[in-house]
Structure 1
Amino acid sequence: MNGILGFTLEIPMELDPNPPAASEQREETLTLNGLHILLVEDNDLNLEIAQYLLAHAGASVDTAHNGKAAVKKFLEAPVGYYDIILMDVMMPEMNGLEATQAIRSSWHPQAASVPIIAMTANAFSEDIRRSKEAGMNAHLAKPIDEKRLIHVILHFTRQKQ
């Protein structure tokens, strides 16, 4: 017998008849490395969660708690500093729509080109229309899905990567 023992083990398992496509598998490795994002959110918990998700994906994140502070940060930033702005709509002092209009009509060289994405619980067609009219490039409904958020950011910043 030479001291060798062998055996066969059968483990029943079900195979997924619809395995994820290669593009879905790659989704897990999408990163925001090298991107600088201005995150504008008045709710501390929402801000903390979004900031964590973005930083975890590799982005550098600056924050503002209202539209007025966001406009100030954007105008004080050098050209090319912010790759994208994620903007809550309902905020005190200056809401996201007003802040977007202020950015778009400003003297800043990136005023017309910086992507601004609405992040809001208001997801009716009228809300989406108003955000686009204010100058926002896209509209994400809360609660924010991490993969969707990253895909939208990459869509609007892909030429920089």
Structure 2
Amino acid sequence: MNAEIIQTLLTDDGANVTVVEDGQRAVDQFKNAPQGTFDAILMDIMMPVMDGLTATKEIRSIKRDDAAQIPIIAMTANAFEEDAKKCFAAGMNAHLAKPFQIDKVEKTLVQCIHKSI
């Protein structure tokens, strides 16, 4: 449900949003898309098939320039400092805890995308 809400709010703001159901599909979607297709990835940590930490590591290991540079933002109910540290250690650029505030999501996206350019 959170993905649908975020998708609706970001789409209303003019973003093109691709939603996948699990971590493996996130990796496959990124890997099979032409380089530069995505500006950022909002990665849920608790997903079926492959969790968000593993999916992030998989994306970072892809041998393409954009795999190392694309902002990956953790979207999680795990709000403790140790959880954020795990996200950063996996290769994520930012950590957002639920409940999400769309203005914070948008601000984080803009900051992360700006840094990667």
User: TM-score with structure 2 length normalisation?
Assistant: 0.95
Letter in structure 1 aligned against 2:38: Y
Q: 2:92 aligns with which of 136, 139, 147?
A: 136
Pair 126,70 (structure 1): closer, same or farther in 2 beyond 3 Å: same
**Highest relative contact order (Cα 8 Å, sep 6+), 1 or 2?**
2
**Which of the pair has more CA radius of gyration?**
1
The alignment yields a C-alpha RMSD, in angstroms, of 1.4
- The answer to whether structure 1 residue 62 and structure 2 residue 29 are counterparts is no
Structure (1 or 2) with the greater helix fraction: 2
- The answer to whether structure 1 residue 118 and structure 2 residue 74 are counterparts is yes
Pair 81,133 (structure 1): closer, same or farther in 2 beyond 3 Å: same
User: Does the 8 Å contact 1:68/1:94 carry over to 2?
Assistant: yes
User: TM-score with structure 1 length normalisation?
Assistant: 0.70
Residue ranges of structure 2 left out of the alignment (5+ in a row): none
User: Does the 8 Å contact 1:104/1:112 carry over to 2?
Assistant: yes
Measured against aligned partners, the alpha-carbon deviations of 1:21-80 in whole angstroms (never above 9, x if no partner) come to xxxxxxxxxxxxxxxxxxxxxxxx111101001101110000111110000000011111
Q: Give distance in 1, aligned partners of 2:113 and 2:87.
A: 19
4+ residue segments displaced more than 2 Å: 158-161
5 Å-filtered alignment, 1:5-154, equals 45-154=1-110
Identity %, equivalent residues: 48
Residue ranges of structure 1 left out of the alignment (5+ in a row): 1-44
User: Does the 8 Å contact 1:100/1:116 carry over to 2?
Assistant: yes
SS at match of 2:69: coil
Letter in structure 2 aligned against 1:131: C
